Amino acid sequence: MPSRQLRRPAAAILAGLTALVCQAGTPAASAERAAKAAKPAASGHRLDQSGRRQVGKASFYARRFAGRKMADGTVMDPRDDNAASKTLPLGTKARVTNLETGRSAIVTIQDRGPYVDGRIVDLSPATAERIGLTPDKGIATVEVAPIAVPLPDGSVKPGSGAPDGFAVNDR
């Protein structure tokens, strides 16, 4: 039987998670997420809410960006499936496929960038490795197929990468 000392932290963690889940569904939280999703890049690029596929070059975050805040306010974790795009709304879920290896991963757009001409997405180091983008090569040609694109009104639009029968409430 667990001791009281072990049960108290578990109860505190459970209470904290419950509060986060409850807060995430509030109108204020939904409005905040929608405002961040609609926020254009500082570079002045227009947001692409069409949900269409894009093909271009991908690179990956340098390890020095680990722990820094991203555009959506979260901290960059190199082990997460996060990515940066100049044109996709923050919060977009997308499948990124390395056209050279055929390997793909699903990412969430949480940051702005890359700011190098010809590149359409920056991937976390873990995601880059998963699709076969290695540090010695540095870049790869990829297809970015949005699955779910958040819109300014708080709704979500299925993108070209969404599976058949995908509904907004599947997210």
CA 109 from centre of chain: 3
Question: Residue 81: its pLDDT value, please?
Answer: 95
Segments making up each domain of the chain, as ranges? 4-37, 39-164
Mind listing the pLDDT tens digit of every residue in the chain (171 residues)? 444 443 444 434 334 433 333 334 444 444 454 444 455 555 566 899 999 999 999 999 877 889 899 999 999 999 999 999 999 999 999 999 999 999 999 999 999 999 899 899 999 999 999 999 988 888 999 999 999 999 999 999 999 999 887 775 544
Q: Which CATH code for domain 39-164?
A: 2.40.40.10
Nearest to 151 by CA among 94, 106, 88, 109: 88
Tell me, what's the pLDDT at 168? 59
